[in-house]
Structure 1
Amino acid sequence: MQFHPTRRTVLALAGATALSLGTPLAAQADRLRLAFIPQENPEKLLGDIEAITGWLAEQIGVPVEGFVTIDHAAAVEALRNGDADISFMGALPFVLAEAEIGAVPLLSEVYRGAPSYTGRIFVRRDSGIRSLADLRGKDIAFADPISESGYLYPLAEFVKAGLIEGPGAAETFFGRVFFAGGYQQAMQAMAEGLVDAAGASQYADLLLTPVQQAEVTWIAESVPIPSHLVIARPGLDAGLQDRFVAAMLQLNAPENRDKLSYLYGPDGYVTADAAAYDGVREMARQSGLLR
């Protein structure tokens, strides 16, 4: 079954960005350009980018520039066009970028002590929704149409439950399907009652306020998903790439760990193992996203 995200309703909800918050620079060999995806509030992310790129520039020895893309697909296009050299990315967009443009995996996140995490379906505690079946005819917000934990894996739980046949049939079950532009935006839409449920990372509730966290719960969880990673465009200067990887691995040192909060808050980074993403490649093939 072929999945066509452009046929779905795409809305910016609860503060989601609809425009890139930075302008990629022309390709230059004497600088490094990083693309960031808006998993959380893009305005906060801009401040984080400014902090981490300054530190990376000191370590690598060349200027480092960062910008926020609209979504995962825009990050892939930035790598394809040479507007970005490196991107922080989820597992699903990585395997698509690998197949389409030969993207190279560099680093994988370690989060809460594990190299994997899950996707969940979140609802408000007072919604009366206790099972996936209770969401029939209800509205749901997902993070991004090519997000693994923010769409494909949570949606697969509805397939396993026999409620839908596949991604292309989602709108036959739900009232409306929205893509909010990031984890935080999808979770805010659910928490504020704009939609009945949200599909996002198992840790996405941490992006809500403490009061909101107490008001939401989850009703389904996916199988483990390999963690987010950092990837490079093909053809990036090998020496520059090696210096970037070395600098990023320095973030694991105790004296540098505070800087991880500027990079989506993982515990640290390890060298990426491409084979660890075979399950994601198979999920993408089953969903019609890969041949």
Structure 2
Amino acid sequence: MRLKKSFTGFVVTVLTAAALAGCGAKETTNTAEPLKVQFVPTNNDGSMEAKAKPFAEYLSKKLGREVNVTLATDYSTIVEAMASGQVDIGIMPPAAYVQARDIGAAKAILSSELTDYDEETGLPIEGQLSGTFKGEILVKADSDIKTLTDLKGKKIAALSPNSASGYIYPVAEMKEAGIDPATDCFLTTVNDIPSEMTAVLNGQQDACFVFEGARNVFAGKFKEYDLFKDLRVLYLTRGDIPNDAIAVHTDMDEDLKQQVKQVFLNMPKEEEGRTAMALWSHKGYGEADESAYDTIKEYSKKAAE
């Protein structure tokens, strides 16, 4: 049984202790300008806007200033919002962060930690977190598609070309296997992962690109299906994808940046914080490793070739 390398939690513990020692419970009193936060929703069923309000209230209380939280319509709009200064803090998918970083619009202060999954069973590993994940290609459990080459001529549901697991990584690795999804398959861009899986389940699509653990995360949205019985992982990307970045605009004041960082580091310790983190299935935060995000650039180039 092969397991991904997991975080020990040591870095987060040390950082949190240091932040608390240096800053205590100090909160900013600068309320002149509301702090603008944006994230990309994991699904578009309308529920995320309502859930974003408690998150805004939580941040407002912790930072001592008004905080507005908005939802990005897609991966590119959060990049544009950071670049134009319309957003101060972005909870950014990895490929979107790299784009914003490379144009000087964003700087990661933290990287999220997610549940680690057993690569053979697809089930969560209790008590184990990871700073990376993989992309999955899902097919129906009874599908005659057994290998990547079997996807030739098939219909595939994908996310935005800016999505690491929903497009970039599976496309790049399919090309390495000798299949160009853009010419050898029929790619359809879908708004969110539950819609992708629904399209496969009802036979509209033969396969879909999702993130590792998607069946576990979205199981509750499918009352008529057992995602672990009705869908099968055809392929798990070899490449590891860095988790979401907690990024701030490059012009942010250093004191405020450290306050924001401390708030996110403390979230796992508080019930309200854990509720906020559940918006993105985050379980914790650690120092961002820029070199890990550089792999996104390599894969993006392969996918675009």
TM value normalised by structure 2: 0.77
CA separation in 1, counterparts of 2:67 and 2:209? 33
Give 1:35-54 correspondences, 5 Å limit.
35-54=38-57
Any idea what SS the aligned residue of 2:205 has? coil
Helix, strand or coil at the partner of 1:70: coil
| Aligned position for 2:282 | 266
Any residues of structure 2 matched to 1:26-37 within 5 Å, and which?
Answer: 30-37=33-40
The aligned amino acid for 1:172 is T
Match for residue 173 of structure 2? 157
Q: Could you say if the C-alpha distance between residues 255 and 37 of structure 1 is closer, same or farther in structure 2, counting changes exceeding 3 Å?
A: closer
Say if 2:251 is the partner of 1:241: no
Q: Read off the aligned partner of 1:79 and give its amino acid letter.
A: M
- 1:84 and 2:99 equivalent? no
Task: Tell me which of 76, 99, 102 is aligned to 1:99.
Answer: 102
> In the alignment, what sits opposite 1:167?
none
Q: Kindly state the Cα deviation for residue 136 of structure 1 after the two structures are TM-superposed.
A: 1.5
The correspondence for 2:157, drawn from 141, 150, 154, is: 141
Paired position in structure 2 for 1:218: 233
CA offsets per residue over residues 197-247 of structure 1, 9 Å max, x none? Answer: 110101222314262412101111112111111212221233332222111
| Pairs within 5 Å for 1:247-258 | 247-253=263-269, 255-256=271-272, 258=274
Q: Give the secondary-structure state (helix, strand or coil) at the position aligned to 1:235.
A: coil
Does residue 173 in structure 1 map to residue 169 in structure 2? no
Of residues 178, 197, 211, the one that matches 1:201 is 211
- Report if the CA contact (8 A) 2:172-2:299 is conserved: no
The structure 1 segments of at least 4 consecutive aligned residues displaced by more than 3 Å after TM superposition are: 254-258, 285-289
Shift in CA distance, 64/42, structure 1 to aligned 2, threshold 3 Å: farther
Amino acid at match of 2:214: A
| Residue range with higher mean Cα deviation, 202-211 or 143-152 | 202-211
1:57 and 2:75 equivalent?
no
Equivalent residue for 1:229, pick from 235, 242, 245? 245
Aligned match of 1:124 in 140, 143, 147? Answer: 140
Aligned-partner Cα distance in 1 for 2:57–2:243: 25
Kindly tell me the number of residue pairs found equivalent between the two proteins: 256
% identical aligned pairs: 26
CA shift, 1:31, in A, is 1.4
Provide the rounded CA distance (Å) in 2 between the counterparts of 1:29 and 1:216.
Answer: 51
Question: CA–CA distance in 1 between the matches of 2:265 and 2:271?
Answer: 12
- Counterparts of 2:245 and 2:196 in 1: how far apart (Å)? 21
- For 2:208 and 2:76, locate their aligned partners in 1 and report how far apart those are by CA, in whole Å: 20
Shift of residue 265 of structure 1? 1.4
Residue 11 of structure 2 corresponds to none
Gaps of 5+ in 1: 1-27, 165-169
User: Contact 2:96/2:162 (CA < 8 Å) preserved in 1?
Assistant: yes
Q: Is 1:191–1:212's contact at 8 Å kept on the other side of the alignment? A: no
Q: Which moved more, 1:118-127 or 1:258-267?
A: 258-267
Kept in 1, the 8 Å contact 2:169–2:303? The answer is no
Give the TM-score of the pair, scaled to structure 1.
0.81
In the alignment, the residues of structure 2 paired with residue 173 and residue 162 of structure 1 have an alpha-carbon distance, to the nearest angstrom, of 10
Structure 2 residue runs of 5 or longer lacking an equivalent are: 1-30, 116-128
Distance (whole Å) between structure 1 residues aligned to residue 203 and residue 248 of structure 2: 38
Instruction: Read off the aligned partner of 2:54 and give its amino acid letter.
Output: A
86-95 vs 231-240, which deviates more? Answer: 231-240
**Distance between the aligned counterparts of 1:246 and 1:117, measured in 2?**
24
Tell me the SS of whatever aligns to 2:137: strand
AA aligned opposite 1:92: A
